[in-house]
C-alpha cells in the first residue's frame, strides 16, 4: 500500500509544542499537510505561557521543507486557532484536539481551581475548537476530528478525579459529534493514548518510557483522519507502545423485572446474578437497543 498522504489539507494540532502534539504536527507536515501548530506554552500544570514551544516546532517543520504556522492561543479560544488555519491556508480539514494539562491531587484536597482549570482546558477547549471548525467541515462536506481521552477517564486514576471526568467527557462528546457529523462526512474518533512525555516522565521508569514514544501513537491517528477512512467514526481506541485496540461497551444479560409493586430492592437482589452475568454479553451502540428491552419489560407488566 502506498503511504498515506495529506497534500493540500490543513491539519490543526492543539498542544503541538511537545509530546504527542509535536509528533502529530511533524508527521502530518512530512506527509504534505499544512499544519497549524497551536500551543499556549505553559507548564504541564497549566501555569504560564510562552510562544517558544510552538515556534520551535514550526521552525523544525519548515527546516524539513514542510508548511506550518504557529498559534499561541489557549484552546479555550478555539475560534482564534481555526481562524489562524483559515488565514494562513484558506481551509481546515482535520482537527486533533490534543492539548492538555494535569492538576493531580487527592479528592480530599482538591480545590475548585484544580477542577475548573482541567474542565476549561480539556472539555471547553475541545468544544471550542470543534465548534469553530464545524461550519467549515459541514460546508465542504469533509472533516476529521480526533479527541483525546485517557485510561484515567475510562477506568479512573488515583488523584485524578478532575482529569478522569474531563477525559471521559471526550467520549460522550465524540459519540455525539460522530452521530451529528456522519451526514456531512465528518468522522470523529477518540483515543486513549499512552506515551512518554513531560506528563508521564515523572510517573514511569525510563526503560518503560523508552518503549512508549509518541511516534507509536501517530500511525493510528493518521489512519483515522485520512480520506480513505470512510466508515470508522464514534470509536474509542487504546493506543501506545505498539498496542492498538478498540474499546467498547459491554452489557450483561441483566434482569427484566415487572414494573409494579414487586419491583423492590429484594427483587433486584434475587436477580443479582443475572444483573452481573457477562456470559452472553451484548455490545450496545445506542439507546435504541435499550428501548427494545424496555418494550419487552412492558409486556411482562
Ligand atoms: P504534553 O504536556 O507533552 O503536551 C500537551 C501540550 O498541550 C503542551 O505542549 C502544552 O503546552 C499544551 N497545552 C496545555 N494547555 C493548553 C491550552 N490551554 N491551549 C493550548 N495548548 C495547551 O503532554 P502529552 O502527554 O503529549 O499529552 C497530549 C494529550 O494526550 C493530552 O490531552 C493528555 O491528557 C493526553 N494523554 C496523554 C497520555 C500520555 O501517556 N502521555 C495518556 C493519556 C492521555
Which one has a higher pLDDT value, 123 or 287? 123
Q: What is the dihedral of CA 192, 168, 251, 280, to 10 degrees?
A: 10
Q: How far apart, in whole angstroms, are the C-alpha atoms of residue 130 and residue 269? A: 44
Contact 48, 239 (CB under 8 A): no
Q: Which atom of ligand 1 is nearest to the CA of 53?
A: 9
- Nearest protein Cα to ligand 1, atom 34: 100
CA-angle at 234, arms to 129 and 96, nearest 5°: 30
CB 147, CB 190: distance < 8 Å: yes
Per-residue pLDDT, 209 = 92
Q: What is the pLDDT of residue 216?
A: 97
44 alpha carbon – ligand 1 mean position (Å): 7
What's the pLDDT band for 289 if we cut at 50, 70, 90? Answer: confident
pLDDT of residue 244: 98
For 140-150, how does the pLDDT look when each residue is reduced to its tens digit (9 = 90+)? Answer: 999 999 999 99
DSSP 3-state of 173: helix
Q: Which atom of ligand 1 is nearest to the CA of 97?
A: 32
Q: How confident is the model at residue 18 (pLDDT cuts 50, 70, 90)?
A: very high
What three-state secondary structure class fits 274?
helix
Residue 298 grid coordinates: 412492558
**Pocket residue to mutate for ligand 1, from 14, 20, 163, most atoms within 8 A of Cβ:** 20
pLDDT of residue 286: 84
Q: What are phi and psi of 17, to 5 degrees?
A: -80, -10
Q: Is 300 exposed, middle or buried (0-12, 13-18, 19+ CB in 10 A)?
A: exposed
User: What is residue 300's predicted lDDT score, i.e. its pLDDT?
Assistant: 72
Mean pLDDT of all residues belonging to the chain: 96
**pLDDT attached to residue 296:** 76
Task: Give distance in angstroms: CA of 137 to centre of ligand 1.
Answer: 25
Percent of the chain whose predicted confidence (pLDDT) is above 70: 99
Q: Which of 76, 97, 197 to mutate to test the pocket of ligand 1 (most atoms within 8 A of CB)?
A: 197
- pLDDT tens digits for range 74-123: 999 999 999 999 999 999 999 999 999 999 999 999 999 999 999 999 99
Q: Which of 285, 203, 191 is nearest to 243 (CA)?
A: 191
* Predicted pLDDT of residue 236: 98
Q: Quote the pLDDT of residue 118.
A: 98
Measured distance CA(64)–CA(42) in Å, rounded: 26
Does the annotation count 163 as an active-site position?
yes
CA of 138 from ligand 1 middle (Å) equals 28
Rounded to the nearest angstrom, the distance between the alpha carbon of 100 and the centre of ligand 1 is 4
What is residue 160's predicted lDDT score, i.e. its pLDDT?
98
Judge if the beta carbon of residue 37 lies within 6 A of ligand 1. Answer: no
Catalytic pick from 24, 136, 142, 163? 163
Amino acid at each position: 500500500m502506498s503511504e498515506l498522504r495529506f497534500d493540500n489539507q490543513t491539519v490543526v494540532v492543539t498542544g503541538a509544542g511537545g509530546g504527542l502534539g509535536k509528533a502529530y504536527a511533524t508527521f502530518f507536515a512530512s506527509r504534505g499537510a499544512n499544519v497549524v501548530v497551536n500551543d499556549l506554552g505553559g507548564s504541564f500544570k497549566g501555569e504560564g505561557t510562552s510562544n517558544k514551544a510552538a515556534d520551535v516546532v514550526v521552525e523544525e517543520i519548515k527546516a524539513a521543507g514542510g508548511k506550518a504556522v504557529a498559534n499561541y492561543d489557549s484552546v479555550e479560544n478555539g475560534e482564534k486557532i481555526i481562524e489562524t488555519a483559515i488565514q494562513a491556508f484558506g481551509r481546515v480539514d482535520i482537527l486533533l484536539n490534543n492539548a492538555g494539562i494535569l492538576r493531580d491531587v487527592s479528592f480530599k484536597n482538591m480545590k475548585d481551581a484544580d477542577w475548573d482549570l482541567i474542565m476549561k482546558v480539556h472539555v471547553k477547549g475541545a468544544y471550542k475548537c470543534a465548534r469553530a471548525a464545524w461550519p467549515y467541515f459541514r460546508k465542504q462536506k469533509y472533516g476529521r476530528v480526533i479527541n483525546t481521552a485517557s485510561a484515567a477517564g475510562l477506568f479512573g486514576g488515583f488523584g485524578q478525579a478532575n482529569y478522569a471526568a474531563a477525559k471521559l467527557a471526550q467520549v460522550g462528546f465524540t459519540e455525539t459529534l460522530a452521530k451529528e457529523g456522519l451526514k456531512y462526512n465528518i468522522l470523529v474518533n477518540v483515543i486513549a493514548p499512552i506515551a512518554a512525555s513531560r506528563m508521564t516522565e515523572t510517573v514511569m521508569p525510563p526503560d518503560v518510557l523508552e518503549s512508549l514514544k509518541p511516534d507509536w501513537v501517530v500511525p493510528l491517528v493518521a489512519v483515522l483522519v485520512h480520506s480513505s477512512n470512510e466508515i470508522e467514526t464514534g470509536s474509542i481506541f487504546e493506543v501506545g507502545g505498539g498496542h492498538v485496540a478498540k474499546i467498547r461497551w459491554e452489557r450483561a444479560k441483566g434482569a427484566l423485572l415487572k414494573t409494579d409493586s414487586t419491583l423492590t430492592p429484594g427483587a433486584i437482589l434475587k436477580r443479582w446474578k443475572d444483573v452481573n452475568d457477562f456470559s452472553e454479553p451484548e455490545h450496545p451502540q445506542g439507546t435504541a437497543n435499550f428501548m427494545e428491552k424496555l418494550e419487552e419489560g412492558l409486556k411482562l407488566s
